[in-house]
Every structure is written in C-alpha cells, then in structure tokens.
Structure 1
Amino acid sequence: MPQALSAKEQSLFRTVVRNYEDKQYKKGIKAADQILKKNPKHGDTLAMKALIMNSQGKTEEAFALAKVALQCDMKSHVCWHVYGLLWRAVKNFEEAIKAYKFALRLEPDSAQIQRDLALLQVQMRDYQGYLTSRKSMLQSKSHVRQSWTALAVAHHLNGELAEAEGVLTTYEETLKNPPSRTDFENSEALMYKNSIIAEQGDYQKALDHLESACKHTLDRLAVLEARATYLTKLGKKEEATKAYRALIERNSELKKYYDGLIEAMGIDAADHEAMKAVYDEYAEKYPRNDAARRLPLDFLESDDFRETADLYIHRMLDKGVPSTFANLKHLYSSPLKRETLPALVQKYIDSGKSEANEEPKRNGDTSKGASAAYYFLAQHYNYYLSRDLDKAMEFIEKAIELEPKSVDFHMTKARIWKHYGDTNKASEIMEQARALDTRDRHINTKAAKYKLRNNETDDALKTMGMFTRAETVGGPLADLHDMQCVWFLTEDGQSYARQGNIGLALKRFTSIYNIFDVWQEDQFDFHSFSLRKGQMRAYVEMIRWEDQLREHPFYTRAALSAINVYLKMHDKPSNTNGTAEGEEDAAERKKAAKKARKEAQKAEREALAKKNEPNKATKEGDNDPKKKDDDPDGSKLAATTEPVNDAMKFLTPLLQFSPKSIDAQIAGFEVYIRRRKYLLALRCLLAASALDKDNSKVHSQTIRFKLALDRDLASLDPKAAAVIKSEFTLIPSGTSLTQFNNAYLSAHKDWARRTLASLSSRKLLADSLAPSADADVVAVLKLDSVTLEEAAEGLELLKSWKSGEIEAFRKAAAAKWPKATVFAATS
C-alpha cells in the first residue's frame, strides 16, 4: 500500500497535476521530486512524474517509471490511468484500453477514465464496448444532451437503428420547454434522428418527422433534399416534382437535381424527347445555365445529338471556354459521338463563325472562337480514344499562334510531348507555361510534376518552393511533408526509384504510409469534438469514410510503387547502400545521400539557432522536443535484409481495403510467391483471375505458380497441398503448360501486352521445340494496336533476357515513335 501524504504534500501533489496540465514540466518534475524525497514509493506521484517525462519526449524512461509506480501501488486507479495514457501516446490503443479497464474497475465512478476509455473504444471500432461505456456515462450525466446523443450514435454504429432512434426520442420527451429555433445542437440532432429513420427504410415516418419536427431546422437545404427524396421513394410524383423544382431554383447546375426531377416525373429513361423537354425548359429559363444544355448530350443519339451538340459547342466556343473538351470527353465512349464532336468543331472553323462571334473579346483578341476551336481539336487528337499526336500538335500550334500567352494551350502542348514519349521536351514546355503566370499554383504544381517525370528532382523541389513557406525549418521538402502533399511525395519517390536511388524512394513511400496513419489517428479528436458541436451526421459520415481510408487511390499508388521496389531488391540483392546497378548509379546515390545529410544538418542548425534566439519569450511547453529523423536519406530502409517481409506493411492494407483491385491482387501474388506462402499466393491469383482472367500478368502468374508448385509440392504440408490441388483449376486438366501458353498466345495474338506475356512464359518454360521468343518480341511492334508503353515493356523484356535482338527492336520502335526518348540510341 502507498504511503499516506501529509496535507502539505497533498497540496504539492495537486500542484504537480496543475503543472502538467499547464505544460510547466520542469516545475512539475521539481514538485514531484519533493514529494518522492520523503515518500519514494508513492505510486500516484511516480505515475504523474512518468506522464510529465513522456511529455518531455523521454518515452522509455516514462514507461519504466510507470511500471515502478504500478509495482508500488497496483490498486491505484491513477497509476493505471497514467499507464493507459502512455500507451495511448505511442498509438498502442489495445494496451491503453486494457489499462483503462483496470483503472475503471478500481474507480468505477471516474468520469475522466470512462470518457477516455469510450474514445479509445470507438477509435478501435469496438462498438459493443463503446455502447456499454456510453450507457454507464449516461447514468452519471443523464441531464446532459451530449450523453443521450452519444448513446444514440453508439447504437447507430453498432447497427441498432431502432434503439438509436428510441434514445433520441426518450431525451426529447424529457424536455419541459421546447428548444429555441436557433439552437444549432437541437437542429442537428433532429436531422440526425431523421436520417436514422430514413436509414431504416420507413420513408413515410421520415417524411412525417421531417415536416413536423424539422420544419424549423437551420439546415434548410438538407431538409429540402431529404423531403424530395422521401416523396420520390413514396411515389408522390406531384409533390416530389415540386420539391425537385424548388431545389433546381436554388442550384440549377447540380446534375442530381435534374435526375431526381426526371425520376419524380416518372419519365422513362428511353423517352429522350420528354427528358429533353425538361432540360430545354430550364435552359430557356436560365440563359447562363450550362448543365441544362450539356446533360442532354449524355442520352441523345443520332440527329438529335448532332443538333444539340452543335448548339452547345457553338455557344461554348463563342465564349472561348477552355474546359469545353473536358466537359464532353466522357461522351467519347460512344463511337458515334466521338466522331460527331470534332466534325462539329471543324464545321465551326470552316463556317467562319470562329472569326465573327459577338461575344466579348478576351485581352483584345479578335479570334477567340478560332483559338478555342483549335484547342478543342488539339485535345481531341491528344485524347487516348482518338489519339493522333501529329494532328494534335498541328492544332495546338495554331491555337498558340492566335493566343501566344495562353497557359492552357502551352500545358496541352506539354501533354502532347509527354504522349510522344519525350519527357524532357514536355518538361521544358510546361516550364514555359509556368513562366506565363508565376502566381498560379496549379501550373506551378504541373511544372513540378513534369520535372519529376523527367527525373529533375532538385528543380522540381525548387519549383514547389515558390509556393511553400520560406521560414519552414528543413526547406520546401519539410513544408511539403507538413502539408501532407501526397502527390508530390509519390511522384518524387517514383522518380528516385527510376533513378535507382532505392533509399530515397522508400523514404518517400514510407512517408505516404505514415501520412495515412496520421489521417487514421486524426479522427481521435473528433470523437469528442463532434459531440460537443452536435454534428452527428457529419461525424457518422467521417467514421464510415475512415473505415475505407486506405482504399484511396493515393495510397494504392504509393503502396504498389513501394512493393515493386522491394520486389526488385529481393530479386536482385543490392549492396549496403541499396544499389543494384553500376558504379555510376552508386555514385549518384552517394551524392544524393550526402546532400540529404547536409540538408538535415542544416535544418538542425536552423532549429537550434531559432530555439536559442536571444530576447525572445518562449513558453516552456513550446520547447517540447520534436522527433529527429535518424534516416534522412533512407539508407536504413534500403539496407533491409528482408525486403519481401517489409513489403507486407504496404500490402496488407491494400488487400484488406481494395480486394477488387486487380493490381493489388497481382502484387499480393508476387509477394507471397517469393515468401513461399502458396495458399495465400493462390488466393490472390484466383481473385485476380475472377476480376480479369485474360489479364497478361494473371496468365504469367498462373504458369509461374504451377512451376513453383511442381518444384515444392513435396515439401508442403499435406493438407495445404490437398487444398491447393482442389482449388487450382485455372489450367484445364490434362493440358500441359506449353499447350496452355500456346492457346493463350493464339487467342490474343492481336494484343501486344498479352503476346509479350506469352513470349515471356515461353522463355520461362524453356521449350526447346518452340521457336525463339526474341524475334517474336520484335514482331510485336508490327501490331496496329501496340502502344508506346507496351513497346517500352517489350524493350525491358529483351534487356532482362540480354537478348541479341535489343538493337533491332530499338531501331524498329524508334522508327515508329521517332520522338520517344526511351528508344533513342545510347552513345
């Protein structure tokens, strides 16, 4: 048992707690030491000292001291609470929950411990535990609305919608006086309750509640949208039609309002004339409206489409709207519309309309319509479904001739060069576009992106530095990290990967992984904040979004890039610097590492100078130590001896949250097959095959899996082998791998990437009777459908074989894509 404190020491202990809360850590440590001098085994004081030390960055010492505190007083709720806080600080929420539960058993009436436990439970999605905690908290604070609302949310998240509605209703019945109409919390609570009723599918009840309880709700737009939806669901066409018309009056550019109106009116999707009449009505009513004129193009066909598109294109080109093509390119999935749109634009040019429009002139330009039309055609021929880069370049040059200072035109010219395969020229032109408007952040980021694609990492960072904070310690890169600029970090990492700088590449991808962790952890504060503000609808939406956070394309792209780097490290072991290439690449990496170390040292010096700046008042809490980066150049990441195991960190969330991504399943197979986890590899292979059985990589992986299985079957566990034999049915029974591969090649001989996969598999099978795959790879260039990217893959394939056909392939590809630098002769 702990020693009892005297009145003076009890007062001193309260001072320790107050110093911790006020972030006066040195004073807190001093006061704690005074108590411990006379009572060295006082657990609560030891615990508070540990908490203060943790705030000073002494995490290991804090944990050691907290364990001593527990040994001194195992039955102190303060010691267990502090122990939980320490675990929470290092993001180990499972251990923190265990500690809080111990503390709660010792002090069941502690509101603070109960609240901390509840927040961790919802963070870890332990909805049943969260529900139990909220019930207990309601009993102690039944007079507070937040307690009732929090319990309703707990029921809602746990899937108990009726109970959630009942809790909110019970609280409403306890109110003696109706809340003020301007009470935001009450307004949000009513709308939240209405959303729960609707989520149960009882739209009539939801409508009745909306029209009675929510008629004075502050969020009027949400009420109008919900009412229109409920009326439509209930088949009340006339009222639903009026409701959607009222919404269109508020915002005539929102597509979902038009869709709702058409549905409410009961217009069949095949009745194009009736649908068009609805849009025409609003196009006439709102002369400046774009949506009512553009949306009919989605469903109109033949002459009706041509007539409507002609009017729309003329209107947009007369105004010189740069986004005209962007508004219409989704129509290119229809071959008829893909042919019609450029013909209408060409007709516009030929008719002379482009030179004689009555719209206001831009910057004194008398040929705005012509330049807009040329710009449209340039984008049309640059688009992947209608690509003709020579024509695209011809039209963009005409547009630039008319408007030489247009940023948009120069950007498109850079994109054309990118599609030509000349990243250097593309970067150069994009830099010219940036110079035309140095105050535009968008073009600045575009220029930086193109520099990264051209492996100009230093110049790209300087370009981004024009819009970062100059005072940030660590320079532009540190500020981009602080701003969580994921796109830049991804492109930067991919650029370093192409250059062979594995360390910095992995450093960038790991930074992105950590940013997603931060986004996951950032929700913690909103569990209590949303309750205080009463914004329950937004809170539940945030919880559901966070549950699918790593489905985001940003994470997928970075994770796949990192996995690819790790796989290459495994397949071609590198030296201690992470290099696997020649001396020149090693020298480049060494130079980059030296530069990174210098930048880190400079940042430290700046931080120290700032901290020691004289005559500057600082608070004690402001001097909290920041975590130092002990691997600025990523050399520790590159020095890993188990790259495939490290890849699992990126792969696991990818497979968990993006099971429908074929790229994720393909990456999963590559990792598991190298780890000899054949059941897991088969699961990924079957999932990928279900998504696209004709995919080139799925075909190659099927053959590789069969070869690996034949090699290692005897060493597998009998039960695992039996499961694999029963589930692996991708290769028909009685068919040899050669026959399977030849059948695939025959079926997909007009597909370049699939042909390359078959030829690669032929090489792998080492069939002595089969013709040489090398010459067939060169023959792939004769296919009409082959793309620049596929040709580049073919060249890499020949290089991996160290084939004698490399030069022949390069010359043939260079003749087909003369501007592509990837096929340029090496000196």
Structure 2
Amino acid sequence: MPQPLSAKESSLFRQVIRNYEDKQYKKGIKAAEQILKKNPKHGDTLAMKALIMNSLGKTDEAFALAKVALQCDMKSHICWHVYGLLYRAVKNFEEAIKAYKFALRLEPESPQIARDLALLQIQMRDYQGYVTSRRAMLQPKPHIRQNWTALAVALHLSGELSEAEHVLTAYEESLKNPPSKSDFENSEAVMYKNSLIAEQGHIQQAYDHLKSAGKQNLDRLARLELEAQYLVQLDRNEEAAKIYRNLLDRNSEYKKYYDGLVSALSIKPTDHEALMAIYNEYADKYPRCDAARRLPLDFLEGNDFEEAANKYLTRMLDKGVPSTFANLKRLYSDSSKLTVLPKLVHKYIEHKESNNEGDEVVKVNGDTSKGASAAYYFLAQHYNYHLSRDLEKAIEFADRALMLEPTSVDIQMTRARIWKHYGNPIKASEIMEQARTLDTRDRHINTKAAKYYLKNDDNEAALKIMGMFTRPETVGGPLADLHDMQCMWFITEDGNSYARQGKLGLALKRFTTIHNIFDVWQEDQFDFHSFSLRKGQIRAYIDMIRWEDCLREHPFYSNAALSAIEIYLKIHDKPLPNGTNGIGEESAEDIVEKKRAAKKARKEAQKAERDALAKKNEANKLVKDADGEPKKKDDDPDGVKLAATTEPMTDAMKFLTPLLQFSPKSIDAQIAGFEVYIRRSMPQLPYHDIPELIGFSEKYLLALKCLIAASALDREHPKIHEQIVRFKLAIDEDSKTLPSQSQDAIKSEFTLLSGSDTTAFNNAYLSKNKDNIKATISGFKVRRTLSPKSASEVEKSIVKLVNGDFITFDEAKEGLELLKSWKSGQAEAFKASAADKWPKALAFACKESSLPVR
C-alpha cells in the first residue's frame, strides 16, 4: 500500500504532480526532494521524481530511481504506472503493458491507467485485449460517446462487425434527445456505422440506413458516392446512373465516376460506340475536360483509336502541354498503340512545317510555336522511353525542341535523362545543373539537380543545392535538417552513392536512417489512437490503422533495406584484417591502403567511444535544435561502428525481418532472405510453416523456406536458379554431418532441382533461356562453379554476349563487373566491345584519363 504522508507533504506531492503536468520540471524536482528529506523511501515521490528526470532526458537515472521506488513500495499503483510510462517512453511497449496491467490490478478503478493500457494494446495490435479494456472503460462512464465508439472500433478491428454495429446502435437508443444536424461527431459516427453494415454484406440495410440516418450527413460527397455504389449493387441502375451524373457534374475529371456510370448503364466493355457516346457527351458539355478525351484511348482500337488519338494529340500539342507524353505512356503496353502515337506526332510536325513553307522553326506572331516544340519534346520522351528507346533520335528531337524554346526547363531535364540513359552521369548532371539555373527558385528542378549530382557521386554539390531549402540555423547543417524533415529520397540516393564509392559506413548510416524513419512513422500513430476518437474522425482512423499495418511494404523501405542487406553480405563475405570490413578485390597497394584505413577507423571508433563516455559523464547534457527542443547527439555520424560490425548477418536481420513479414510476395526480399540465412549459423525466426523439418538445421531450413517462396513467385528468375544449385551443393557438402531424419525431410521438401545432376539442370536452363541475357549470365556463373576447369570458356562466352542483339546497357555492366570479380583476363576485351556498342557510356571507357573532369 502507498505510504502515508502528512498533510503538508501530501500537498507537496500534489504540487509535484501539477508541476509535471505543467512541464515545470525544476520546481517538481525541488518539491519532490523536500518530501524525500523526511520520507527518503516514499515510493510514489521517488516514482514521480523518476518521471520528471526522464522528461529532462536522464533516462538511465530515471529507470534506476523507478526501480528503487518499486523496491520501497511494490504495491503502489503509482510506482507501477510510472514504470510503465518509462518503458513507453523508450518504445518498449511489451514491458510497459506488463507494468500497466500490474498497476491496474492494484487500482482497478483508475481511468488513467486503463486508458494508457488500452492505447498500448491497440498500438501493439492486441485486439482482444483492447476489446476487454474498452469494455471495462465503458462501464463506469456510459454517458460518454467516445467510450462507445472506441468499443465499436475495437470490435471492428478484431473482426466482430455485427457486435460493433450493435454497440453503436445501443448508444443511439440510449439518447433522450437526437443530436443536432451540425454535430460533426454524430455525422461521422453515422457514416462509420454505415460502413460496418456494408462490410458485413448487408447492402440493402446499408442503403436504407444511408437514406434515413445519413440523409443529413455533413459529408455529402461521401454519401452520394456510397448511395450510387449501393444502388449499382442492388441493380437499381437508373437511380445509380442519375447520381453518377450528378457526381460527374461536380468533378468531370474523376475516372471512378465514369466507371460507375458505365456500370450503372450496363454497358459492356466491348461496346465502344456506347462508351464513346458517354465520353463525347461530357467532352462537349465541359470543353476544358481532359478525362473525357483521354480515357477512351484506353479501350479504343484500330482506326477508332487512331482518330481519337489524333484529335487528343492535336489538342494537347497545340496548347503546348509538357505532360502529354506522361499522360499517354501507359498506352505503350499495347504494341499497336506504341506504333501509332509517334506516327501521329510525326504527321503533326509535317503538317506544321508544310504550313510554314518547309521551315523547321515555326513562328506565330513572332513567338515560337508551342505546337512544334511540344511535338519535338513528345518525340524526345518517346525515344527515351524504355519500350521505344533510341537515344540518338531522342537527343536529336530534344535539341530541336530546345532550339525553339531555349529557356525550357522541361526540355533540358529530358536531355539530362537521355544522357543518364547513355551511361554518362557526369554529362547528365551538368545538363541538369543548366536546367536548374533557368529557375533557381523551383524546388522540383533543384531536387532533380541534387539527385543527378548524387548519381554522379558528387555528394557535396547535392547537399549544397538542398541547403538552399533547409533552415540555416539547424544544428548539424543541411544534412541534419533533411534528416529531421525525413527527406527519404535524398537519404536513399545519398546512401546508394556512398555504396557505389565503397564508403560502407556512410551508406549503412543512410539506410539505417530510413529504417529509423519508418520506426518513427510506426510510433507516431500512438497519439492518433486517442486524438481520432476525441475528434470523432473514425473512418480516417480505421484507414490509418490499415495503412500502418502494411507500412513496411513501401518502396522507400524495401529499397533501402535491400541495399543495406547487400552491404552486410559483402562485409560478411570479405572481411578485412583487424576486424575492419570492406569490399572489392585487393591488390598489394589496396591492402596497404586499406590497412591504413582500418587503423584510422579504429582510432575514430575509439575516439567515438571516449566521446560517448565523456558525454555520459556530463550529467546527460543535450544539444538543442533550432526550436529549442532537446536533441541527442549522434556518436557515430560517419557510420564507422556500423561498418566495423563483427556480426553483419545479425545486423542484416534488422532490415530483413520486416521485409519478409510485410512483403512476402516480394521476390527480391525472398532472395535476400536466402542469402542471409544460408550464411547464418544460428537463425532466430520460427519455422512453423515447415513443421516436418524441425529436426533439420535451422540454417538450411529458413534458407529453403525463402527459396521455395521465391520460386513460387518466379521459377525462372536467374538468382533463384543460382540459389537452387548453391543450396544443393551446400547440403551435399554437409550431408555427412546431417542426421538421416533431416536428410529425408529435405528430400521431400526440396523438389526444385529436377533430378540430381546439377550440370544437366544448368544446361537445360541455359538452353531454355537463350534470349535472356541475365539468365544466360546466371547459367554461366553456375557452370563455372560446377566446373572450375571451364572458367576460360565461360569468360569467353560472356564476352560474346556483348555483340548480341538482346543485351542492354545494364546487363553489359553486370557482365563486366562479374568478369572483374573473377579477375578475368577477358575483362578488357569485354570492355572494348561494350565501348564500341555504347561509346558515350563512362562505365566502358578504356582509360580513366579519358573521363571528363568533374
């Protein structure tokens, strides 16, 4: 039980609580110390002092003091509650929940503890526990609508839709007076209840509810959309069509409304005449409407498509719309449309030139014709596009467009992209810089210029440009501000650049920052669990919960995670002497240089440790940012400690686990999983999916699990082909040490290798994928592994690939890197052949001195 205090000290204790709530931390500590002078073992006061110290950034001292408070008074709900708050502050939600539950046992009637417990349960997606907590919170305060809504949300998320609907109905029936029409919270609750009814499949009931309770709903647009949707599902198409026409009058650019109207009118996708009647109607009704003219191009074919596309292109090019190609490029998936569109643009140019008596440069009232420059610009983008790539023509038309509009930022940007596809990042960044100088206040072109500098590995120039848009007073400069603003595209590109340069520490630092940003996003939802209920934004809250559940599927995370895993794999495979890690094949000079670097890295790591120790002894002093908020100082700004890891596979798991958990359909994630698990000796993931392999080595078990998952996604993927053979060789090598039960189990599961002859399996793969360069290279790699004597023959075969018709620039780069990794004498021959095929690409330049100076 809490220790009793005198009246004066009880007043001081209440003052401590008020000081904490008002963020008057110094006063709170002073008042707490006054109590502790007479009652040094008063647990509640010690706990409150610990809570205040944690707010001051003294986390370690706060935890130590909280443990002392518990030792002084194990049965104080305040001590346990504070202990939970401290764990919550350091994001250890599992331990915080345990502390809250213990506090709630001691004080079952505490609304504050119950609320804190409920918020953590929904944060951790403990839906059943959340339902229990919300039921308990509803009982003492049934007059508060928020408690009823929260219980309905808990039931909804746990899958009990009918119970959730019943809870909302029970509250509505308990009201003596109906809510006012302007009650926003009631309006949202009505729409939320309607969504629950519809989600159960009761469409007629949902429609009736929408027409009655939702009739005066404040979100009129959502009500109309739902009403039209329900009517279509109920086969009341005439009424639905009427509503969709009203919606199109509100927004004639929204494709969803056109699709809804087509569905309501029961028009078949093949009935192009009826479809065109609808689109022509709205094109005539709204002359400035683009969707009614663009959407028919998706389904029209043949002459009808050519006629409609010609009208659309003429209209857009006459206006000089720069985004015309971007609006049409999705049509290129149809080969016939890919052929028609550039022909129409060429005809447009011929028509313009004939009207101008054959002159290429067209003038209208002394000004450059928008139509001609827009047409040239369209063709430049067309020939730069990967499905229709002809870079020589692309640069030709870009130059023509630039002659007509020399100050066009868009045309200069496209020229830079063309040079990027040529394989010349230096030239590309120079042209993008020229484009930037045309409009230095435009953030878009500035960020593009910075991105191209990063692709050229000029990190300082990129950061200088980005510094134009950051706060100069930020502690740590522009880079720190970009991190604070979570500018992930820059951080990712910066990391990729450092990875290319071999600066693994800095690269890992950037990719770890991306990982931490997603952790912050995961944690930031915590405040919305109470905010959304308080403001009545239930539908948006449910959407946020579902979005957070698939947060790690975002490309920003997956790209950064895969890059980080790749670096850790390199560190694992090629550790350098003295515990410092690096990449690449090493000559004698490289070894000497890297030993120097290793020595420097050790000194930097030791200095960082000394600085960290000194900082800890400085009474936890914190740096303050531009807003005066405390900010922790980074003790490893260059990633030295990250690159010097002695357990790279364990560190890689931090990135891999979310990938496999939230992106199981990503073949790249499964491939990365195999590479990590096959190198690990003690994996830490469960293996419930293949229970018959429990007796088998976990190392091979989890690698096989990823291999099976990846092969189910794409059996012919080059990397999977390599991994199948590598897995077979690995288990054959360890066959003597594996128990017989494990060998029998793996034989039953590992059916990817047809037969037991790996050489025949590889030859069959090569024969099947003759026109696939990546698959061919993969097959050659496997052949060299299976038969080291054939190394010379394999290397010559790879050189021959350069002269093929199917090889791309990226595939040629991959082939060259492979030969270099083998230290092959054929690398120079490969480079010479590639240089003839891609003369503008710097990757195949024969002499380093021939490269342009940056």
Shared fold, TM over 0.5: yes
- CA positional deviation for 1:586: 8.0
Q: Are 2:604 and 2:640, in contact at CA under 8 Å, matched by a contact in 1?
A: no
Q: Are 2:13 and 2:45, in contact at CA under 8 Å, matched by a contact in 1?
A: yes
Aligned to 1:646: 651
- CA positional deviation for 1:473: 1.4
Aligned to 2:498: 496
Q: Are 1:237 and 1:264, in contact at CA under 8 Å, matched by a contact in 2?
A: yes
Aligned to 2:122: 122
1:559/1:682 Cα in 2 relative to 1: closer, same or farther (>3 Å)? same
Q: Are 1:134 and 1:154, in contact at CA under 8 Å, matched by a contact in 2?
A: yes
Q: Are 1:396 and 1:413, in contact at CA under 8 Å, matched by a contact in 2?
A: yes
- CA positional deviation for 1:28: 1.3
Separation (CA, whole Å) in 2 of partners of 1:572 and 1:785: 33
Q: Are 1:2 and 1:72, in contact at CA under 8 Å, matched by a contact in 2?
A: no
The 5 Å alignment of 1:312-391 reads 312-352=312-352, 365-391=367-393
RCO greater where, 1 or 2, for CA within 8 Å and sep 6 or more?
1
Aligned to 1:554: 556
For residue 707 of structure 2, give the secondary structure of its aligned residue in structure 1: helix
1:587/1:345 Cα in 2 relative to 1: closer, same or farther (>3 Å)? farther
Residue deviations 1:333-356 (CA, integer Å, cap 9, x gap): 111000000000000000127977
Separation (CA, whole Å) in 2 of partners of 1:433 and 1:638: 37
Aligned to 1:727: 749
Q: Are 2:570 and 2:583, in contact at CA under 8 Å, matched by a contact in 1?
A: no
Aligned to 1:246: 246
Q: Are 2:622 and 2:632, in contact at CA under 8 Å, matched by a contact in 1?
A: no
1:206/1:469 Cα in 2 relative to 1: closer, same or farther (>3 Å)? same
- CA positional deviation for 1:766: 1.7
Q: Are 2:297 and 2:309, in contact at CA under 8 Å, matched by a contact in 1?
A: yes
Q: 1:666 aligns with which of 667, 671, 675?
A: 671
Q: 1:445 aligns with which of 408, 429, 447?
A: 447
Separation (CA, whole Å) in 2 of partners of 1:242 and 1:461: 55
Q: 2:706 aligns with which of 673, 679, 684?
A: 684
1:588/1:415 Cα in 2 relative to 1: closer, same or farther (>3 Å)? farther
Letter in 2 for 1:33: E
Residue deviations 1:591-631 (CA, integer Å, cap 9, x gap): 99999999xx9xx99xx9xx999xxxx99xx9764222111
The 5 Å alignment of 1:468-547 reads 468-547=470-549
Aligned to 2:407: 405
Letter in 2 for 1:703: V
Q: Are 1:318 and 1:354, in contact at CA under 8 Å, matched by a contact in 2?
A: no
Letter in 1 for 2:823: K
1:584/1:315 Cα in 2 relative to 1: closer, same or farther (>3 Å)? farther
Residue deviations 1:689-747 (CA, integer Å, cap 9, x gap): 111111111111111111111111232354443322111111112x4111111111111
For residue 645 of structure 2, give the secondary structure of its aligned residue in structure 1: coil
Aligned to 2:827: 806
Unaligned runs of 5+ in 1: none
1:445/1:45 Cα in 2 relative to 1: closer, same or farther (>3 Å)? same
The 5 Å alignment of 1:420-819 reads 420-575=422-577, 576=579, 578-580=581-583, 582=590, 625-676=630-681, 677-733=699-755, 735-766=756-787, 768=789, 772-819=793-840
Letter in 1 for 2:818: L
- CA positional deviation for 1:589: 10
Residue deviations 1:501-525 (CA, integer Å, cap 9, x gap): 1111000000000000000000000
- CA positional deviation for 1:580: 3.9
Letter in 2 for 1:142: P
Separation (CA, whole Å) in 1 of partners of 2:633 and 2:365: 52
For residue 641 of structure 1, give the secondary structure of its aligned residue in structure 2: coil
For residue 825 of structure 2, give the secondary structure of its aligned residue in structure 1: coil
Residue deviations 1:265-295 (CA, integer Å, cap 9, x gap): 1001111111111111111111000000000
Separation (CA, whole Å) in 1 of partners of 2:596 and 2:421: 31
1:106 equivalent in alignment to 2:106: yes
Of the structure 1 ranges 668-677 and 444-453, higher mean CA displacement relative to structure 2 is found in 668-677
Over the aligned positions, Cα root-mean-square deviation in angstroms equals 2.6
The 5 Å alignment of 1:212-251 reads 212-251=212-251
1:623/1:338 Cα in 2 relative to 1: closer, same or farther (>3 Å)? closer
Residue deviations 1:543-571 (CA, integer Å, cap 9, x gap): 00000000001100000000000001011
1:820 equivalent in alignment to 2:841: yes
Separation (CA, whole Å) in 2 of partners of 1:591 and 1:446: 35
Letter in 2 for 1:774: E
Separation (CA, whole Å) in 1 of partners of 2:125 and 2:832: 59
Aligned to 1:201: 201
Letter in 2 for 1:750: D
TM-score by length of 1: 0.94
Of the structure 1 ranges 463-472 and 293-302, higher mean CA displacement relative to structure 2 is found in 463-472
1:2/1:254 Cα in 2 relative to 1: closer, same or farther (>3 Å)? closer
Q: Are 1:355 and 1:366, in contact at CA under 8 Å, matched by a contact in 2?
A: no
Aligned to 1:47: 47
Letter in 2 for 1:19: N
Q: Are 1:46 and 1:65, in contact at CA under 8 Å, matched by a contact in 2?
A: yes
Q: Are 2:784 and 2:790, in contact at CA under 8 Å, matched by a contact in 1?
A: no
Residue deviations 1:561-589 (CA, integer Å, cap 9, x gap): 00000001011113555444536678899
1:156/1:3 Cα in 2 relative to 1: closer, same or farther (>3 Å)? closer
Residue deviations 1:463-502 (CA, integer Å, cap 9, x gap): 1111111221111101101110111111000100111111
Q: Are 2:432 and 2:448, in contact at CA under 8 Å, matched by a contact in 1?
A: yes
Letter in 1 for 2:456: N
Q: Are 1:354 and 1:368, in contact at CA under 8 Å, matched by a contact in 2?
A: no
Q: Are 1:451 and 1:459, in contact at CA under 8 Å, matched by a contact in 2?
A: yes
Aligned to 2:287: 287
For residue 368 of structure 2, give the secondary structure of its aligned residue in structure 1: coil
For residue 802 of structure 2, give the secondary structure of its aligned residue in structure 1: helix
Q: Are 2:803 and 2:833, in contact at CA under 8 Å, matched by a contact in 1?
A: no
Of the structure 1 ranges 51-60 and 498-507, higher mean CA displacement relative to structure 2 is found in 51-60
Between the two proteins, what is the percent identity of the paired residues?
70
For residue 833 of structure 2, give the secondary structure of its aligned residue in structure 1: helix
Residue deviations 1:608-661 (CA, integer Å, cap 9, x gap): 9xx999xxxx99xx9764222111111010110111111000000001111111
Separation (CA, whole Å) in 2 of partners of 1:306 and 1:499: 49
Unaligned runs of 5+ in 2: 585-589, 682-698, 849-854
Aligned to 2:685: none
Q: Are 1:355 and 1:369, in contact at CA under 8 Å, matched by a contact in 2?
A: no
Residue deviations 1:110-138 (CA, integer Å, cap 9, x gap): 00000000000000000111001111111
Aligned to 1:298: 298
1:594/1:212 Cα in 2 relative to 1: closer, same or farther (>3 Å)? farther
Separation (CA, whole Å) in 1 of partners of 2:602 and 2:483: 19
TM-score by length of 2: 0.92
Separation (CA, whole Å) in 2 of partners of 1:187 and 1:2: 45
Q: Are 2:505 and 2:641, in contact at CA under 8 Å, matched by a contact in 1?
A: yes
Residue deviations 1:232-270 (CA, integer Å, cap 9, x gap): 111111011111111111100011110111011100111
